[in-house]
Structure 1
Amino acid sequence: MINYITLRATAHATEEKSRVKKSLDLFLLNSLGNNTDTYQFVESLDVEGHYGNPITLYNSKLSRKYECNKLVMFIKENLSSSELATLCKEIPERLDEEQMFHLRFNKQEAYLGRVVLSSSSDAIIVKMKVATYPKNWGQARKNVEDLFG
């Protein structure tokens, strides 16, 4: 049902990079396995912000079916019941025309080991490519509802 999942986190100059990486690791370790060295799965890129401020971008991609399924189950099992209900209600708004399902998680809560949805742009951004053959948004929506419902 999921072709691949991308994860992205941004470490601004005011943030400690290791803490942002640890926040991202909450999701990676629960899909790759707790004994995994996640550095081999995470690409980091140092860039400059609009005002010359240093920013580090962390990106990772999960493409194995087992890893994708583990991450979906981890998210589903660790969201509060009210947040899971909110997520299910928002599926149509979170699923774009390219069948990418968009999620954002609070970085600070992830650092503390908690999975909490966020509407902030400064979050752990998770995108899931939903598979349907042939491409069909309605079927993709049903697939996401089956995963999180």
Structure 2
Amino acid sequence: MIHYIDLRVISHSTEDFSRVRKALDFFLLNSAGKKEESDIDDAVEIIDAEGHYGNPIRIFSAQVSRKQDSKALALFIRQNMSDEDVELLRSEMPDRLDDEQVFYMRFDKQAAFEGRVKLTSSSDAIAARVKIATYPKNRLKAGGIVEELFG
């Protein structure tokens, strides 16, 4: 079972903020019950910050916590990944799941803007943290849930 899915992306001053937001919205609109951009406006937190060299950056973050929405988003991600990305995810599953039962993925911002789900290893990406819930807490069971969801 998924407890929640956190999504976070940074828009640098050299990027169009609206394009980065559209890439994030691509994922959010594909969780259950979200059909219009107005449905997700309240769900996205926007922080204006300053980069290391004083450059302006904007951080967009959202949490999908309703069970139905989380499951729909996970299903959407899995169904839209390429076979190569699924294989990569399978091979890296143990390394992507931490001791707190959080499963980490990064998605290409440009691909998301274009309406595609593509894994990336770049730090300039849409970061997804999937919190897996097991009772009692058990990493092995969490790994089985991750395998069932994304494998």
Match status 1:138 vs 2:106 = no
Q: Secondary structure at the match of 1:92?
A: helix
Secondary structure of 2:110's match? helix
CA positional deviation for 1:36: 4.5
List alignment gaps of at least 5 residues for structure 2.
none
CA RMSD of aligned residues (A): 0.9
- 2:71 corresponds to which residue? 69
The correspondence of residues 1-149 of structure 1 with structure 2, limited to 5 A, is 1-31=1-31, 32-37=33-38, 38-149=40-151
Give CA deviations for 1:65-89 in whole Å, capped at 9, x if unaligned: 0000010000000001111111111
Per-residue CA deviation, residues 107-145 of structure 1 (Å, 9 max, x unaligned), is 011000010001011000000000111111111101101
The number of residues matched between the two structures is 149
For 1:12, the aligned partner's letter is H
| TM-score calculated relative to the size of structure 2 | 0.96
**Structure 1 segments unaligned to the other structure (5+ residues):** none
Instruction: Return the letter of the residue paired with 2:75.
Output: M
CA deviations over 1:23-78 (Å, ceiling 9, x no partner): 00110000042225221110000000111000000010011000000100000000
TM-score w.r.t. structure 1 length? 0.97
Percent of aligned pairs with the same residue? 51
Q: Structure 1 segments of 4 or more deviating over 6 A? A: none
CA distance in 2, matches of 1:59, 1:67: 16
